[in-house]
Amino acid sequence: MTMVLASTAFDVSSQSNFVAYWGQSSAGSQKSLGEYCGDSSIDVIVMAFLYQFPNTKLDLSATCRSTFPGSELLHCPDVAADIKKCQSQGKAVILSMGGAAGAYGFSSDDDGKKYADTVWDMFLGGSGSQRPFDDAVLDGVDLDIEGGSTAGYAAYVAQLRSHFEASSDKKYYITGAPQCPFPDAMLGSTLNSAWFDMVFVQFYNNFCGLDAYPQGFNYGQWDTWAKSQSANKNVKLYIGAPGSQSAAGRGYVDASTINSIASDIRSKYTSFGGVMTWDASQAFDASSWGQSVSSALKSGGSKKRALEPLQGRFISTRSANVTAGAMQVKLELVEGSDVYISDTENTFGFHVRIQSADQPIRQGWELHIPLPVGVSVAQASAQAHNIRVHDNTLVVVDGSSINENMAVAFRVAGQHIGNEFGLPDPAKIMLYTTA
């Protein structure tokens, strides 16, 4: 059998990719793989699932029921033709292993290595005698591990990587789909030690999902992992989202909302790679949720004006003066009744007064307040303002103008907050306005 090593135009470094899982017909019915690939909205199709291993079993719902003679292993020539069609249109097609209802796992690193050889021969660039998709060569493997043991997966990925490196025919990818609570209970150790190209974080069915944005949405934790713990410091993170209300128990947000969230995350984090959805049958129904989200990604997201720092002289006291042209702004850390320290609640509060001396600050501003070294902030709040924590910096975003002076009161909570916690240094606070 001659392998068909289709070359894709998929760009893993992009921040506008749209990924869709396909195969489980979660909406009750689904189109063929080829039909979904005919939609320019999709960049990556993840086929779900290889739900049993190392005794290999596939399930693609009603799309493929035929098997090899005398075997329970699916044989899907029609799907094979669709894989080639997708790849010819510049899309990557990846096989997902695991899922929520599979029977799978390894007992040792040696088991993982051996099964990597099997997957290489059955689905990728190898030459197995029984290949479910015949001569079609998939673009990689996804790990959606939600049960069983954590053993063997890092060794599995490393062995697959050795096959990838020995083959110069095409580019292959390893992806993962952890739950959003960090670290992921099943994939956490593997994500830290193995090389992943893309990670599709499932921001649904959990407290840290899209419905918890912005306060409880923990993309920032995953960004920190990507840049400090991941074996691949350029790994791309995706916002995993349900494609409709019925696609998940919780976490669904409409297209307009996720477009706004994705635009915000994209503007703040270079790790952002795009949006992943579960699944194609839900996201590409009559609502056109998938098309809307993909279109926003590819147009650069919601329009966001460039931020201009107010350049000026900071003084290392309790206040700082900055200027931008004729505009003078004073930033002052203010003590008062709403400044407090609580050892029992592990919280700390303060507020910043922003004073416009000459003329109103133009509509739209951001305030960046670096917190003292050694303080790990878990959450923060500022009444009537959009606030988040990134790289131990409080970031406040507001679309209003500042006419005379404004006080922004903060309540922060985290580790090592108590009597040792001092006020942030005003000299390091940055105020930005939109151009």
Do residues 238 and 199 touch, judged by C-beta distance below 8 A? yes
β-pairing verdict for 393-398 and 365-370: antiparallel
CA distances from 161 to 50, 188, 412 (A): 19, 19, 43
335 catalytic, yes or no? no
β-pairing verdict for 430-434 and 365-370: antiparallel
With helix as H, strand as E and coil as C, how does 313-374 read? CCCCCCEEEEEECCEEEEEEEECCCCCEEECCCCEEEEEEEEEECCCCECCCEEEEEECCCC
Angle at 142 between CA 137 and CA 148, to 5 degrees: 130
CA distance 308 to 430: 11
Which helix (H) or strand (E) is 256 found in, with range? helix 255-268
CA distance 161 to 231: 13
For 117-130, b where at least 16 C-beta lie within 10 A, e where not — what string? bebbbbbbbbeeee
Alpha helices in 124-254 (DSSP H): 153-166, 188-193, 219-228
Q: Which of 146, 308, 332, 366 is catalytic?
A: 146
Q: What residues are annotated to the active site?
A: 146
